[in-house]
Amino acid sequence: MDGKIKTIDNLKELVRDRYAQIAGQGDEGISIGCCGSGDCCTTDALMADSYDNLKGYVPDANLGLGCGLPTAFAKIEPGNTVVDLGSGAGNDAFVARAQVGEGGKVIGVDFTDEMVERAKLNALKLGFKNVEFRLGDIENLPLGAETADVVVSNCVLNLVPNKQKAFQEAYRIMKVGGHFSVSDIVLDGALPDALKKAAEMYVGCVSGAVQKEEYLEIVRKAGFVNVTLQKEKEIVLPDDMLKSYLSNDEASLFGAQARILSITLYGEAFGEK
């Protein structure tokens, strides 16, 4: 990793390589969170929310990569089919499974082979028969139209270069009357160029984020209606991290010029499909 973002292909390889590395770590080495770089920060305290009180939570499947609790807001019902975009080691998929029950189904999609294999191994250990994990790109999902009652995703879509295509794909696979709940990172204000260009910060869900209003517009353009902000919290980056990329003056002014927000967003697919 040379620290600079280049092409879309570079971005995807950057993310795939980093998350493959995370998937291969032992549980004792996982404390890097969505930041994606042990040298960058530990983000369990910065971005991730606690799953401890959620039914179905499997600690072995939690790699600390999230920035919210979409399954807690997703209005999942028994018997639903839930699709988890960027399912990692299976954390949100297993929580969703507890909500859909034996009569429902959960499908996780991730584009990192190592993550898919780790999730499959977790499901095998747990004896889960109604959870499956597929290798695939969120911009071109390996699922048929009108598959899902509910789509969830946790701090993943900010890493997708073509966010419009990703939400269009989410809409395509959703049944009429279905809905999504997505936790993600957005911006309020402009990031300094040094952060925008930092590959580490892209993998860390920061420089790949777009403005909050732009994100909401992307969702609406994909066809979703009744788009609602379910939760919002500010992510405060530590001074020592900022100073790794910015001058002292830039770092001191950062909070006044830009805010990094974790949001959980809800939307419904009631339009013509």
Which pLDDT belongs to residue 200? 55
Per-residue pLDDT for 80 more than 80? yes
More confident residue, 27 or 83: 83
Mean pLDDT along residues 92-115: 97
SS3 state of residue 269 = strand
Which pLDDT belongs to residue 5? 46
Which pLDDT belongs to residue 206? 67
This prediction has a pTM of: 0.87
Which pLDDT belongs to residue 182? 98
Domain that holds residue 98: 8-269
84 in a structural domain: yes
208 in a structural domain: yes
Taking alpha carbons only, the member of 140, 139, 174 closest to residue 159 is 139
**Would you say the C-alpha torsion 106, 111, 117, 119 has a positive or negative sign?**
negative
Q: How far is CA 3 from CA 66, 193, 198, 199, 259, in A?
A: 23, 13, 5, 5, 22
3 in a structural domain: no
H or E segment at 261? strand 258-269
29 in a structural domain: yes
Per-residue pLDDT for 33 more than 90? no
Which pLDDT belongs to residue 82? 98
Per-residue pLDDT for 6 more than 60? no
Domains identified in the chain, total number: 1
Per-residue pLDDT for 116 more than 80? yes
Say which CATH number the domain at 57 has: 3.40.50.150
**pLDDT 10s digits, 156-174:** 998 888 999 999 999 999 9
82 in a structural domain: yes
1 in a structural domain: no
261 in a structural domain: yes
| Average model confidence (pLDDT) across the chain | 84
Per-residue pLDDT for 13 more than 80? no
Both tokens of 211, joined, read: 């403005």
